């Protein structure tokens, strides 16, 4: 089993030293979702939410959050993100609900990965959808949120989630 890297010899939290690692192309893909009722789905799909274009705002929020991950997750490094791409896909949910799947791919050239940035991006996007639609229904459900894949680094330990 791999040991946890964010603890020093005294068992206290630390930021991992990545200064000796070479820079490589690194990518991460994460997904989250939010389940909404049919009425909210119709409002979003027809761009009738009073606060504006929900998916466009959620995408911008996700991008901004990815770039600020190091400011809100204590042990994350500031990373020069080279690209972020979002996709949104509607699925059938329980009863008369719809599920909005939110996927983000984050890319950098650096000496540490961008998994946390991708996870932060989709989380912020889902929270933004909630925020923009909560006046209609506060019963929306966010999640699950998970890493789908990560590539890059010198260890050749790429990760691809077995099931979605």
CA distance 101 to 96: 16
Residue given tokens 């077995």 in the structure block: 162
Task: Specify whether the CB–CB gap between 158 and 52 falls below 8 A.
Answer: no
Residue 164 pLDDT: 55
Q: Are 158 and 24 in contact (CB under 8 A)?
A: no
What's the token pair of residue 20? 């000796």
Best CA proximity match to 130, nearest among 40, 10, 13: 40
**Residues of the chain predicted below pLDDT 70:** 1-4, 156, 164
Q: What is the pTM of this model?
A: 0.92
Tokens standing for 69?
A: 């991950």
State both tokens at 144: 């699950």
Express each pLDDT in 103-144 by its tens digit. Answer: 999 999 999 999 999 999 999 999 999 999 999 999 999 999
Active site residues: 131
* Domains of the chain, residue spans: 24-152
Pick the CATH number of 24-152 from 3.20.20.70, 3.40.720.10, 3.30.70.640, 3.40.50.1460: 3.30.70.640
Q: How many helices (H) and strands (E) does the chain have?
A: 4, 6
Report residue 45 as tokens. 């799909």
């Amino acid at each position: 089993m791999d040991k946890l890297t964010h603890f020093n010899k005294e068992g206290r939290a630390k930021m991992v030293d990545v200064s000796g690692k070479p820079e490589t192309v690194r990518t991460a893909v994460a997904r989250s979702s939010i389940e909404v009722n049919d009425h909210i789905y119709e409002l979003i799909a027809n761009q009738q939410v009073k606060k504006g274009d929900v998916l466009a705002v959620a995408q911008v929020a996700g991008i901004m959050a990815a770039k600020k991950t190091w400011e809100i997750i204590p042990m994350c490094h500031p990373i020069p993100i080279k690209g972020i791409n979002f996709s949104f896909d509607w699925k059938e949910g329980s009863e008369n609900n719809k599920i909005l799947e939110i996927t983000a791919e984050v890319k950098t050239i650096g000496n540490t990965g961008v998994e946390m940035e991708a996870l932060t991006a989709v989380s912020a996007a889902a929270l933004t959808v909630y925020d923009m639609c909560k006046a209609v229904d506060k019963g929306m459900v966010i999640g699950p949120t998970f890493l789908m894949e990560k590539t890059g680094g010198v260890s050749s330990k790429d990760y691809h989630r077995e099931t979605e």
